[in-house]
């Protein structure tokens, strides 16, 4: 097998939630492998920083600003990318939110709806907008970012996630499999990555971790480390290899799969 299979020269990728965390690292990895990356986020300053990082390394990147929950902002996404880049080969649906961790009976309905809007409706709207362009220009690879919390529950005696996050990430896994089945003949592959507990570099849970006491943080950390065979958190940069693989011809016969990237969490 040749390493040429992993090269992405000439391909165009769209990464949502590219302004920080996993999205930024995946955008950087795709660009280093040869992709012209369209970095999407609703936070202009964050995504501008991501584009600057990529361009400073001599790779291709541009930005596009939209909110994945706003149907009117996404409706013309396919046409916009066709106009600017001519095609779309790779979509990474990464934008997501994590609610303040509570048990089900404590969850506000408004929080539930917000998580569903971003984590489930968002990928649906983005895929609906760009799949016609992929069909028109020869196919492509869709990579949805799910979570290990969508693969199995976790409650170490105190809330660390929640039903809304678990339900939407499990739903995204199901959506991925259905898209894979529906569009295989159109040469569109769809797979999902289910990341495990990530270390520094992601803003996903910043809004509630700031409220935790030192004791809460220590309990949380010990619960994660004790449940991970590798005994450590993941580094966002470690996702680059997997996303490059799923975007490239190296995974040309892989579709409909949910791949855990979790240090062995789901192995036990």
Annotated catalytic sites, by residue?
165
> How is 170-186 classified by DSSP, letter by letter?
HHHHHHHHHHHHHHGGG
**Of the candidates 180, 87, 94, the residue with the CA atom closest to the CA atom of residue 134:** 87
CA–CA gap between residue 170 and residue 161 (Å, rounded) = 13
CA–CA gap between residue 19 and residue 44 (Å, rounded) = 8
**Of the candidates 139, 132, 142, the residue with the CA atom closest to the CA atom of residue 177:** 142
Per the CB < 8 A criterion, the answer to whether 5 and 250 are in contact is yes
**Of the candidates 9, 62, 66, 58, the residue with the CA atom closest to the CA atom of residue 33:** 9
Per the CB < 8 A criterion, the answer to whether 93 and 127 are in contact is yes
CA–CA gap between residue 13 and residue 143 (Å, rounded) = 10
The gap from C-alpha 126 to its chain's centroid, in whole angstroms, comes to: 12
CA–CA gap between residue 262 and residue 42 (Å, rounded) = 28
């Amino acid at each position: 097998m040749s390493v040429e299979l992993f090269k992405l020269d000439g391909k165009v990728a769209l990464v949502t939630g590219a302004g920080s965390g996993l999205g930024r690292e995946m955008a950087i990895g795709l660009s280093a492998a040869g992709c012209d990356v369209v970095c999407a986020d609703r936070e202009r300053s964050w995504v501008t920083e991501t584009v600057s990082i990529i361009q400073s390394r001599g790779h291709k990147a541009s930005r596009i600003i939209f909110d994945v929950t706003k149907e009117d902002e996404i409706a013309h996404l396919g046409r916009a990318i066709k106009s600017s880049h001519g095609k779309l080969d790779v979509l990474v649906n990464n934008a997501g939110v994590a609610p303040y961790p509570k048990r089900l009976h404590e969850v506000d309905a408004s929080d539930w709806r917000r998580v569903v809007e971003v984590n489930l409706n968002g990928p649906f709207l983005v895929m609906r907008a760009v799949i016609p362009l992929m069909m028109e220009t020869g196919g492509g690879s869709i990579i949805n970012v799910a979570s290990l919390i969508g693969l199995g529950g976790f409650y170490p005696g105190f809330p660390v996630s929640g039903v809304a996050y678990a339900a939407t990430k499990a739903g995204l896994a199901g959506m991925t499999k259905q898209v894979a089945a529906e569009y295989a003949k159109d040469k569109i592959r769809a797979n999902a990555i289910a990341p495990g507990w990530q270390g520094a570099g992601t803003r996903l849970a910043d809004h509630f971790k700031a409220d935790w006491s030192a004791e809460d943080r220590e309990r949380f950390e010990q619960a994660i480390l004790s449940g991970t065979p590798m005994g450590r958190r993941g580094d966002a940069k470690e996702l680059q290899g997997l996303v490059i693989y799923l975007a490239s011809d190296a995974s040309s016969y892989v579709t409909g799969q949910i791949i855990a990237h979790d240090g062995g969490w789901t192995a036990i």
